Chains A and B, each alone.
Chain A
Amino acid sequence: MKLSMTQAQRKVRTKNLWVLTSLVILIVIVFMISMNTGYIKLSPLEVVRTLFGLGTAQQALVLFDFRLPRIVLSILVGMGLAVSGCVLQGVTRNALADPGILGINAGAGLVVMLFISFFPSTTDTPVFMLPILAFTGAGATAAIIYVLSYKRHEGISPIRLLLTGIAVAAGISSATIILTLRLSPENYQFVATWLAGSIWGSNWKFVLSLLPWLIVLLLFVYLKANVLNVLNLGDLTAIGLGASIEKERRILLAAAVGLAGASVSVSGGIGFVGLVGPHLARQLVGARHQVLIPTAALTGALLVLVADTIGRWILQPSEIPAGIVVAIIGAPYFLYLLSRLQD
């Protein structure tokens, strides 16, 4: 008997590697396009030259201080949101769980918005506080949803979780809108753009404030791939296999909330990435989290990067926030998934 991988399994592994490589290549291509997108036109050659430190001071300024941090942020935010959705979907066994739909993003947004309106960004904002604030908002929202959708002896049914989440999201959005009405016109403009999900924190400070959270949480979630696989089989089977389901579920939900909160704190209200990213990834590589998590991270990154690039390009010189572009793609996708859930 063969004791290691069979030929078919090796084929699958090769296919998965191809999927991951293709996604990386696509990201690099969009990265190059995105570097060329904007008010000041740069040829691909100029971009490459500038990247290697051979461009003019103006080109370097545009690339390194404006475009590059924004592109890097798009990639990071896409990864964070998609992996957050991936974890939520695995833990709740619900293909429609997404930090945006469940209102976790909105909760993070509310707290961040409160902070911004009290400490306008013109003053020296402690940027590193933002992920923590967003995490607080996201965590509080997640806790509310958890408590409201939890029923003793039944646990959390996927559909109740979803409905509660949507209701809570609606509530938070209205609260946010009421609050925005009291803002000064300048702040209102700023907050409205933020809520629509523009990658607003386009400088390296924001990248640095997001990066440590993402690295720690993504790594943590990835190391929990085995646990996610087992939780995804349902409570009874997971207990039978010896997983401490309540403990693991809480830890993983906290990680998902942290990823979504940290991402949203710099990107604003980008929804649907946590839904579309993992779903596409599952179509590409299947349900094993060892492969699913990195694939979802890459599809999410690609999605937000494409959305941000389109948003900057389509109505030049003005911009459409990436969140709106993602929603234009994501909302129909959500409806499509919802219609398939019925049967």
Chain B
Amino acid sequence: MTAFNVDRVAVGYSNSLIIDELSVSIPKGEITTIIGPNGCGKSTLLKTISRILRAKNGSVILDGHDIHRLGTKEVAKKMAILPQTAEAPGGLTVFELVSYGRFPHQKGFVSLKKEDYTYIHWALDVTGLMAFKDRPIEALSGGQRQRVWIAMALAQDTEILILDEPTTYLDMAHQLDILLLLQKLNREEGRTIVMVLHDLNHASRFSDYLIAMKEGALITEGKPEKVMTCSNLQRVFQIDANLMTCPFSANPICLSYQLCQ
């Protein structure tokens, strides 16, 4: 089962293409992570999948339909996006921001219905934010804020969650905290998660499926043990990696590395 089919997409600005002729299928109900060096087009691919960018050629197929043919609210009921730099306007409380996640399900001008409250409370609960729900967002730490944005995406009640570097700027414990939350959502609720991560070890440990990109092209894809190999890392990142097995996930991790000669 696939969540998305990316069919020969070309994405870019007027005369420079960032991605050219890229095709990939993203499995349903699994955690997929896109990895690659800076500027390789992984964020661009994520934005194309999430219809923020429109492909010049090719198409992104979601549930058998071209994503740009579907109404944007329809798509928003199927997938939620957590952008890399999400910033809340001043004066919002945690509850208020999370309640905005119900937007695609609301019709015109109506306040929250009982069903909306159910989802909002569930989202606050699962992200451990119940105790903070009436606090202003400015008063929270970076890790808590990131949880609020995830809670908003969860309140959207979508099968698919798309996250652009959800752990950037967080310390190690908070990074793990977010990734474990995503893993729980995937394992317990069967949600499809697609994200970009910079930390290869996190990518390998928490993903079912990895997509490695370089210079706008797909280099390799598959299960972590297939993608996280010395030769692939050499090709993608120009590093000589010293790999071992992660004691927590049994997937390969990189102990240390050097630049290729």
B100-A240 in contact (CB<8A): no
B89-A232 in contact (CB<8A): yes
A2-B121 in contact (CB<8A): yes
B134-A230 in contact (CB<8A): no
A interface: dominant SS: loop
A264 to B116, CA, bound (A): 41
A4-B100 in contact (CB<8A): no
A236-B89 in contact (CB<8A): no
Partner of A241, one of B71, B92, B104: B104
- Counting CB contacts under 8 A, is B90 at the interface? yes
B50-A240 in contact (CB<8A): yes
List chain A residues, Cβ under 8 A from B90. 95, 282, 287
- Counting CB contacts under 8 A, is A54 at the interface? no
If the complex has contacts A153-B13, A239-B81, A244-B72, are A287 and B111 also in contact, measured as CB distance less than 8 A? Answer: no
B88: nearest residue on chain A (CB-CB)? A233
A102 to B121, CA, bound (A): 41
B114-A286 in contact (CB<8A): no
If the complex has contacts A1-B121, A241-B76, are A288 and B92 also in contact, measured as CB distance less than 8 A? Answer: yes
- Counting CB contacts under 8 A, is B236 at the interface? no
* B98-137 interface bits toward A, Cβ cutoff 8 Å, 1 = contact, 0 = none: 0011011010110100100110011001000000011000
List chain A residues, Cβ under 8 A from B56. none
A225 to B103, CA, bound (A): 11
If the complex has contacts A3-B117, A239-B52, A290-B111, are A234 and B91 also in contact, measured as CB distance less than 8 A? Answer: no
B91-A229 in contact (CB<8A): no
What distance in Å separates the Cβ of B99 from its nearest Cβ neighbour in chain A? 9
- Counting CB contacts under 8 A, is A177 at the interface? no
- Counting CB contacts under 8 A, is B187 at the interface? no
B interface: dominant SS: mixed
A239-B72 in contact (CB<8A): yes
- Counting CB contacts under 8 A, is A8 at the interface? yes
List chain B residues, Cβ under 8 A from A232. 89
B96: nearest residue on chain A (CB-CB)? A288
A95: nearest residue on chain B (CB-CB)? B90
- Counting CB contacts under 8 A, is B73 at the interface? yes
A243 to B74, CA, bound (A): 10
List chain B residues, Cβ under 8 A from A6. 133-134
A236-B103 in contact (CB<8A): no
B156-A241 in contact (CB<8A): yes
- Counting CB contacts under 8 A, is B174 at the interface? no
Which residues of A62-98 have CB atoms within 8 Å of chain B's CB atoms? 93, 95
What distance in Å separates the Cβ of B88 from its nearest Cβ neighbour in chain A? 7
What distance in Å separates the Cβ of B178 from its nearest Cβ neighbour in chain A? 17
Interface residues on A, range: 35 or more
- Counting CB contacts under 8 A, is A242 at the interface? yes
What distance in Å separates the Cβ of B46 from its nearest Cβ neighbour in chain A? 11
A242-B91 in contact (CB<8A): no
A245 to B82, CA, bound (A): 17
A3-B114 in contact (CB<8A): yes
Partner of A233, one of B72, B89, B104: B89
B87-A234 in contact (CB<8A): yes
A236-B100 in contact (CB<8A): no
- Counting CB contacts under 8 A, is B93 at the interface? yes
If the complex has contacts A239-B51, A282-B91, A287-B90, are A4 and B117 also in contact, measured as CB distance less than 8 A? Answer: yes
Which residues of B1-27 have CB atoms within 8 Å of chain A's CB atoms? 13-14
A288 to B136, CA, bound (A): 12
Interface residues, chain A, with chain B CB atoms under 8 Å away: 1-6, 8-9, 12, 93, 95, 152-153, 222-226, 229-230, 232-234, 236-237, 239-244, 282-283, 286-288, 290
Interface residues, chain B, with chain A CB atoms under 8 Å away: 13-14, 50-52, 71-77, 79-83, 86-93, 95-97, 100-101, 103-104, 106, 108-109, 111, 114, 117-118, 121-122, 125, 133-134, 153, 156, 162
The 6 closest A-B CB pairs, nearest first, are A242-B76, A240-B81, A236-B83, A242-B73, A242-B104, A287-B91
* A-B pairs with beta carbons under 8 Å apart, 27 shown: A3-B118, A4-B114, A6-B133, A8-B133, A152-B13, A153-B13, A222-B109, A223-B108, A224-B109, A226-B103, A229-B103, A230-B100, A232-B89, A233-B86, A234-B86, A237-B81, A240-B52, A240-B83, A240-B153, A241-B100, A241-B101, A242-B71, A242-B72, A242-B73, A244-B72, A282-B91, A290-B111
Given contacts A6-B133, A236-B86, A286-B91, 4 further A-B contacts (CB under 8 A): A12-B134, A232-B89, A240-B82, A286-B92
